[in-house]
Amino acid sequence: MTFPDPSSPGPPLNSGDAPYKELRGLVHSVAIAMLILTGTLFVFLYRQVVLVRRQTAEMAQFLGEYEHSNTRELIRQMQNRFDEFRRQNPDFTPIFIKYFGSNEPAASPPKASLAGPATNPPIKR
C-alpha cells in the first residue's frame, strides 16, 4: 500500500470543479443567512414572550385592584340613575339600550365568589 506524497501537487483542476465550488459557496451563504434569520426570529419571539409576561402580570394586578375596589357598585349606581333618567325621558331609551342593552339594572349586587383573592407574581421591570 502506497500513500500519496503530501508535497506533490494534487490532481489538476478540471473545468467541472468551478461550478461545484460556486454551488458550495452558495450553499454556505444560504446556511449563514438561515442562521442569521433563525437567530433574529428567536430574539423577536423571546422579546414578545417577555412583553406578554409583563403585560399579564400588570393585568393581573389591575384586576386584583378592581376586584377589591367599589367600582362595580359605582357602575351599578350609574346604571340605576340612567335607568331612572330613561324612564323620565323616553328619548334617552335608544341611547340607554345601546350602552346597557335591554336588561334592567340589577336590583342587588351579585354574590362574591367563594374563592379567595389570587396571588399575583411580582412585576419584573
More confident residue, 102 or 30: 30
Residues 103-115 have pLDDT tens digits of: 666 666 555 554 5
More confident residue, 5 or 15: 5
Q: What is the pLDDT of residue 30?
A: 97
Q: How far is CA 76 from CA 67, 80, 95, in A?
A: 14, 6, 17
| Contact in structure between 60 and 118 (CB atoms under 8 Å) | yes
DSSP annotation of 91: G
Residues 74-91 have pLDDT tens digits of: 888 998 999 899 999 989
Q: What is the pLDDT of residue 26?
A: 96
Q: What is the pLDDT of residue 41?
A: 98
Residue 116's CB is within 10 A of a number of other CB atoms, namely 6
Q: Which residues of 41-73 are buried (b: 16+ CB within 10 A; e: fewer)?
A: eeeeeeeeeeeeeeeebeeeeeeeeeeeeeeee
Residues 25-69 have pLDDT tens digits of: 999 999 999 999 999 999 999 999 999 999 999 999 999 988 888
Instruction: Assign 117 a pLDDT band (cuts: 50, 70, 90).
Output: low
123: left (phi over 0), alpha (psi -120 to 50) or beta: beta
Contacts of 83 (CB under 8 A, 6+ apart): 96, 100, 104, 105
The reported pTM is: 0.47
| Contact in structure between 113 and 80 (CB atoms under 8 Å) | no
